[in-house]
Each structure stands twice: as C-alpha cells, then as structure tokens.
Structure 1
C-alpha cells in the first residue's frame, strides 16, 4: 500500500518558495543531491496543489521543466477548485482531498504518493493522511515567502527520524509521522 510523503527544499528560515511563490532561489544552489534520485525512484504518483502546478517553475520552457527538474514522469493528481477545461497529459484534476488521495494512491501502487505544495501537505497533515516528510535544507535565508507548514494551530506533532544525510550543498532530513 502506498504512503503519502511530503517532500520539499527549504531555506534555513523555513521557506519553500520566496515572496509571491518565486522558486528561482533554488537555481542559486546547484549540485547533486542523493535524496532527489531516491525520491524519483520511490515515487509512484504526485499529489499537487493548484498553486504549485500552475505557479512558478524556475525551469519553465527548458528541458528541466517539471517535477524534480524534469527527471520524474508519471501520473499527477492536482487538487483544485477550478479544474481547467482542456485536458493535460498524465494529469487528473480533483476537487476534493479524499478523491485526490485515493486516486493518487491507486496510481502509485506500492510506491509513494509524493505531495508537492505546502497547502496540500497541510491539508493531508490535518486530515491524518500524511505519513512521511522529506526536507532538503538549503543554505539560504529567504526572509519571506511560502513556509514549509503554515499555521499548524499550536499542535505538537511527533516525528521520528527515518534518515538524515549531507549533500554537497544541502542537508537532508527524512521523517515519519509518529
């Protein structure tokens, strides 16, 4: 059975995107990261928020456009209140979380459903659906933008280490929700 994994690159001050959803900050921190290859291998489908799907891609109109710099291909499920009228290849638009999660899990098989987008990840966490979190901490301070998790309501969510490691230009932490 597949699990839901939220993965993100984050600045040291807790932002996964800069002001206005700007993702170009990641281009200033190149380098191989072994966790990315592991995520690509272990991901069976993606569950994506609409702002992430239609937002800023620092690799737009390049060969590296798309999830994981264009290295991942497969079924994507986008949670949105406003699905586009025209179909998008390999993409299913869902208007409610439960339907989106069920469809993404079915498509993932025994691999992970990788959650992309802070709002969708928070919704999954709030609903008790999120199983694991993988964060790459990038040596940068953005000062403003989209936080990894926003307004958790004072809850204390216990996490357990799955793994941690260093990449040439980042620190990786993989956690399980206890």
Structure 2
C-alpha cells in the first residue's frame, strides 16, 4: 500500500509560505535537488489542499509554471476541498472528505508515494493517523510570518525519527518517519 508523505520547502524559521500564501521567497532556492528528484520519481499520486492547489506558484514566469515539481512530475492529483470547481480540471479529481481522498490517492499511487501538499491537509492526515513520513527541504531564509509547516495550537507532540539528512547547498533535506 502507498505511504503518505508530507513534503514541503520550509524557511529556517518554520514557514512553508509567506504572508497570504506568497511563494516567491522560494524561487531563488529552486534547482536541482537529488532528494526531491528521487521523491518525484517515486510519487504515484498527489493529495493536495485546495489553498495549495489554487495558490501562488514559486515557478511563476519560469518553465514548469503550474505543474507539480515544476514540471518534474505527472500523474493523478486529488484535491481535498469543500468547494469543488464547477468545471472539471484535466488530471485532477476534487474530493470533499479526507477518507475518500486518501483511499483514492493510495489506489492511484500503487506502490509509490502519495505526496501530501499543503499544511492543513498534512495536519488532517496526521490527526487521523494516516501520515507515514515527512520530507522538509530547509532553506536558509527567515520569513518571519506566513503559513507554518505544522500548526496545531494545543495539539499533542508528534514524534519523528530521521530516515535521512542530505544537503544540496544551500538546502538541507530532512526525511523523517512518523513514530506511532
């Protein structure tokens, strides 16, 4: 069965997007990253939050704009939303509940990963005991405010154990397993 992996690029102070979902801060740090390239090759499906799906793109005005992994991945995408669009989007399935979204994404991913994109969807997966791994690409920048990697005020501690730590300067990749 496919594993659920939450992946994100994160500022050193813990933000995956700037104020209002701004992703322009990430553009200088895009580039070859063997760890992320390996993930893209092993990803069978995406499970994406609605804000992430419709949000800002760090590849704006670059090749790969509007495409997963900047064009480095192609496959089925499942967007978790309470507001599906009126018109279909090719290659994208809109799902209104987490259990159905995870079941369909896992089926589509086969033996690959279901890559979870979006802090709120990742938090929901974690709360439901569904999240298996986390990959964080830490960038050397301080944003000061924005969307946190994981935000759950009053929530319980989540233990993680390292799988690997790799560096593709200036980015440090932390691949972690969720301890159950």
Q: Could you say which TM-score interval applies, normalised by the shorter chain?
A: over 0.9
Please show how residues 3-22 of structure 1 align to structure 2 within 5 Å. Answer: 3-22=3-22
Give 1:31 shift: 3.4
Q: Pick closer, same or farther for the CA change 1:162–1:33 going to 2, 3 Å.
A: same
Question: What CA distance in whole angstroms lies between the structure 2 residues aligned with 1:166 and 1:96?
Answer: 36
Instruction: Report the equivalent of 2:111.
Output: 110
Alpha-carbon distance, 1:7 to partner: 0.2
Deviations 1:22-61 (A, max 9, x none): 0011112243211111111110000000000001113246
In the comparison of the two structures, how many residue pairs are matched?
A: 178
Structure 1 position 132, deviation (Å) = 0.2
Query: What do the CA deviations read for 1:102-128 (whole angstroms, capped 9, x no partner)?
Result: 000000000000000000000000110
Corresponding residue for 2:121?
120
Structure 2: segments with no counterpart, 5+ residues: none
CA–CA distance in 1 between the matches of 2:16 and 2:47? 17
CA distance in 1, matches of 2:29, 2:39: 19
Alignment of 1:2-81 (within 5 A): 2-60=2-60, 62-65=62-65, 66-81=67-82
Report deviation, 1:152: 5.0
Superposed displacement of residue 154, structure 1: 3.9
User: How big is each residue's C-alpha offset from its partner over 1:78-116, in whole Å with a ceiling of 9 and x where there is no partner?
Assistant: 000010011111100000000000000000000000000
Equivalent in the alignment of 1:135: 136
CA distance in structure 2 between the partners assigned to 1:31 and 1:109 by the alignment: 28
Quote the offset at 1:70 in angstroms: 1.5
Cα distance in structure 1, aligned partners of 2:44 and 2:9: 20
Displacement over 3 Å in runs of 4+: none
TM-score normalised according to structure 2 size: 0.95
- C-alpha root-mean-square deviation of aligned residues, in Å? 1.1
- In 2, are the aligned partners of 1:9 and 1:138 still within 8 Å (CA)? yes
TM-score normalised by structure 1 residue count? 0.96
